[in-house]
């Protein structure tokens, strides 16, 4: 596996621009120069535009990028099938719907709080349960709902979050360590980035959604979890930089390809391909 650049960003789900610029940081590592540069004081939109421009320029130069963002890219398997029945729920199809704001996704990118409340009502009525799955201190439903997920066609957490329990569910909007709100904002921007790459013929492999094997001459986009990569002091900048350092160590030790082998049983590979995974996390090894 060969890459010329690594781009890893620590994300944020705060609403106002001032706070976004305080909490979003990206580490850019040039492998040939062995040089890491931190880019901070940027908003979510500026980060997406920076990633798009860098992917476009790298493609023109025949450079290959490994890039990742600190938020969930997808929902637990079965969730999209519930809220968008009858539609293609493969990851690429779902983000295309999100980018075009069709159907249930019409309010997704504009106001995640409003969208989550709408989905809660839909699921509550459909399954005759007292509350929907989204909750959090920054949300109208402030307490975690008492939901028996055995009665629903989706789980509270994706498999990778069950294996690595420090990871939080996308349904928790706000609170210490939560990623729900930043994931809802992030998935909307991710959808636009993917659409940009398609429109500009930028070869982008979304791992593992597009397949476990990574084709040659493709940029590779992964979901990252800095809590796994950064054992040191926690901050937005440190999380981005230590994620670069972790992947650089895999390159130096010749084990980078192993990080993309989660050792899943065959019965779970298709499920995880719809939910996503974090490189380095191994099935059956709980953190």
Instruction: State if pTM tops 0.85.
Output: yes
Q: Is the pLDDT of residue 137 over 80?
A: yes
For 3, 29, 66, 213, the CA distances from 32, given in Å and listed in that order, are: 9, 9, 14, 24
How far apart, in whole angstroms, are the C-alpha atoms of residue 169 and residue 151? 18
Say what the pLDDT of residue 269 is. 94
Say what the pLDDT of residue 286 is. 63
Minimum mean pLDDT among 10-19, 49-58, 69-78, 261-270: which range? 10-19
Residue 77 φ/ψ region, left for φ over 0, alpha for ψ in the -120 to 50 degree band, beta for the rest: beta
* 72, 276 Cβ separation under 8 angstroms: yes
The larger pLDDT score, comparing residue 286 to residue 58, is at: 58
Average pLDDT in the 261-279 region?
A: 95
Average pLDDT over the chain, rounded to an integer: 94
pLDDT in tens, 24-57: 999 999 999 999 999 999 999 999 999 999 999 9
Residue pointed to by tokens 């982008």: 204
Q: Is the pLDDT of residue 229 over 80?
A: yes
Residue 121 φ/ψ region, left for φ over 0, alpha for ψ in the -120 to 50 degree band, beta for the rest: alpha
Say what the pLDDT of residue 205 is. 98
Q: Is the pLDDT of residue 261 over 80?
A: yes
Which tokens belong to 79?
Answer: 């969730």
Q: Is the pLDDT of residue 285 over 70?
A: no
Say what the pLDDT of residue 287 is. 60
pLDDT band per the 50, 70, 90 thresholds, residue 93? very high
Average pLDDT in the 83-94 region?
A: 91
The larger pLDDT score, comparing residue 57 to residue 108, is at: 57
Average pLDDT in the 189-213 region?
A: 97
Say what the pLDDT of residue 102 is. 84
Which of 52, 88, 108, 66 minimizes the C-alpha distance to 223? 66
Say what the pLDDT of residue 111 is. 87
Say what the pLDDT of residue 149 is. 96
Q: For 88-110, b where at least 16 C-beta lie within 10 A, e where not — what string?
A: ebebeebbbbbbeeeebbebbbe
Average pLDDT in the 72-98 region?
A: 94
Say what the pLDDT of residue 36 is. 96
How far apart, in whole angstroms, are the C-alpha atoms of residue 166 and residue 239? 15
Say what the pLDDT of residue 38 is. 97
pLDDT in tens, 152-180: 999 999 999 999 888 999 999 988 888 99
How far apart, in whole angstroms, are the C-alpha atoms of residue 5 and residue 92? 24
Which tokens belong to 1?
Answer: 């596996």
The larger pLDDT score, comparing residue 138 to residue 238, is at: 238
């Amino acid at each position: 596996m060969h890459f010329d650049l690594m781009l890893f960003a620590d994300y944020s789900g705060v609403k106002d621009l001032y706070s976004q610029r305080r909490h979003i940081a990206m580490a850019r590592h040039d492998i040939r120069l062995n040089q890491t540069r931190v880019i901070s004081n940027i908003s979510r939109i500026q980060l997406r535009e920076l990633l798009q421009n860098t992917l476009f320029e790298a493609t023109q130069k025949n450079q290959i990028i490994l890039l990742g963002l600190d938020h969930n890219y997808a929902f637990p398997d079965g969730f999209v099938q519930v809220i968008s029945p009858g539609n293609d729920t493969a990851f690429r199809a779902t983000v295309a719907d999100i980018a075009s704001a069709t159907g249930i996704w019409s309010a997704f990118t504009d106001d995640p709080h409003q969208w989550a409340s709408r989905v809660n009502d839909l699921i509550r009525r459909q399954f005759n349960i007292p509350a929907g799955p989204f909750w959090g201190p920054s949300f109208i439903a402030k307490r975690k709902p008492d939901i028996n997920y055995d009665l629903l066609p989706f789980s509270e957490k994706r498999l990778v979050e069950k294996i690595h329990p420090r990871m939080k569910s996308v349904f928790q909007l706000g609170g210490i360590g939560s990623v729900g709100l930043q994931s809802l904002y992030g998935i909307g921007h991710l959808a636009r980035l993917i659409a940009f790459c398609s429109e500009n013929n930028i070869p982008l492999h979304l791992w593992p959604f597009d397949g476990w094997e990574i084709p040659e001459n493709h940029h590779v986009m992964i979901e990252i979890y800095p809590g796994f990569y950064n054992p040191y002091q926690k901050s937005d900048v440190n999380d981005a930089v230590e994620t670069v350092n972790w992947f650089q160590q895999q390159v130096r030790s010749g084990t980078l390809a192993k990080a993309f082998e989660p050792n899943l049983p065959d019965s779970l590979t298709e499920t995880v391909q719809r939910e996503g995974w974090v490189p380095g996390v191994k099935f059956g090894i709980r953190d």
